[in-house]
């Protein structure tokens, strides 16, 4: 099996392609802005004659899910999976809760199938499992490969050095802290955040997760407020920018 991170373009989230003996899964797709390029990159990775078995979305946000309908259509209408609470919003192309309006963009109507905590996809030589990790949105999902101890976290960990926002529609600060705790229990060897490079190494992943957890716990103790001296995030950003920068000493791999 192979796991390939397709780096996000501009505001796009990273996409993660998991290729096994019996199928291929794509985790997140980015906005609809670069969907043609995402399709081209996928065609360069998926072996000739094989298909995309399914698209797994970590959340409803436009920069994670905007291109899902198009990518699905290019692979024989591969099923798109998301937590049930987000299905209606995607089906109607809701521009508010998906955040598409923040990008001055439309959200393409997207038909999905519900995914539940613990659901698994058997790719022959590996299993991909869904884990409910709300916080940035109520429908947040992490997908991981237990045999390899690798996880794609979506906006729960938007970047190794940038914590997730909880002030966007559907966000919940205590849920963010609880979901980071869930990831810590997995003893991950590799973490693929929504943006930036892959965090590789058990100690490195643990350091990143503990930094995010400590920050969320401090904010909970401070009545749910983020530090007043931190810059206000742009309307398109799903994460906060610490001041001073965290600059965790981690090994990032492409």
pTM of the model: 0.95
Longest pairwise C-alpha distance within the chain = 55
Per-residue tokens: 107: 């959200």
pLDDT given at position 249: 58
Per-residue pLDDT, averaged over 78-104, amounts to: 95
Residue 251 pLDDT > 90: no
Give kind and range of the element (H or E) at residue 122.
strand 120-122
Residue 189 pLDDT > 70: yes
pLDDT band at residue 52, thresholds of 50, 70 and 90? very high
Nearest 10 degrees: Cα torsion 241, 56, 71, 171: -40
The number of distinct structural domains making up the chain is: 1
CA dist 194 and 112 (Å) reads 21
Residue 82 forms beta bridges with which residues? 114
Per-residue pLDDT, averaged over 169-183, amounts to: 97
- Its domain, for residue 47, covers 2-253
DSSP-derived secondary structure letter, 178: H
Per-residue pLDDT, averaged over 163-179, amounts to: 97
pLDDT given at position 49: 86
Per-residue tokens: 60: 């409803």
14 in Cβ contact with 6 (< 8 Å): yes
Residue 76 pLDDT > 50: yes
Q: What is the pLDDT of residues 106-130, one digit of tens each?
A: 999 999 999 999 999 999 999 999 9
Query: For residue 70, which of 105, 35, 34, 94 has the smallest C-alpha distance?
Result: 35
Per-residue pLDDT, averaged over 150-174, amounts to: 97
- DSSP count for the chain of H helices, then E strands: 6, 13
Q: Residue 17 maps to which CATH number?
A: 3.60.15.10
Per-residue pLDDT, averaged over 155-178, amounts to: 97
Percent of the chain with pLDDT over 90: 91
Per-residue pLDDT, averaged over 92-108, amounts to: 93
pLDDT given at position 162: 97
pLDDT band at residue 248, thresholds of 50, 70 and 90? confident
Per-residue pLDDT, averaged over 56-60, amounts to: 98
pLDDT band at residue 254, thresholds of 50, 70 and 90? very low
Q: Provide the mean pLDDT of the chain.
A: 94
């Amino acid at each position: 099996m192979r796991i390939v991170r397709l780096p996000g373009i501009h505001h796009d989230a990273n996409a993660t392609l998991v290729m096994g003996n019996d199928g291929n899964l794509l985790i997140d797709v980015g906005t609809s802005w670069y969907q043609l390029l995402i399709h081209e990159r996928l065609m360069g990775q998926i072996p000739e004659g094989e298909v995309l078995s399914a698209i797994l979305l970590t959340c409803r946000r436009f920069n994670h899910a905007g291109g899902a309908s198009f990518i699905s259509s290019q692979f024989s209408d591969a099923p798109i999976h998301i937590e049930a609470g987000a299905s209606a919003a995607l089906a109607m192309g809701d521009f508010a809760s998906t955040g598409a309006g923040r990008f001055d963009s439309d959200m393409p109507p997207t038909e999905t199938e519900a995914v539940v905590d613990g659901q698994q996809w058997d790719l022959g030589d590996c299993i991909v499992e869904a884990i409910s990790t709300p916080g940035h949105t109520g429908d947040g999902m992490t997908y991981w490969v237990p045999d390899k101890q690798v996880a794609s976290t979506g906006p729960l960990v938007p970047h190794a050095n940038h914590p997730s926002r909880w002030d966007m529609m559907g966000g919940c600060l205590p849920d963010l802290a609880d979901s980071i705790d869930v990831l810590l229990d997995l003893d991950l060897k590799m973490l693929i955040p929504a943006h930036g490079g892959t965090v590789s190494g058990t100690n490195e992943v643990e350091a990143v997760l503990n930094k995010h957890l400590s920050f969320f716990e401090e904010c909970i103790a401070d009545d749910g407020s983020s530090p007043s001296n931190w810059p206000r995030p742009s309307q398109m950003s799903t994460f906060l920018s610490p001041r001073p920068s965290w600059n965790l000493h981690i090994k990032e791999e492409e």
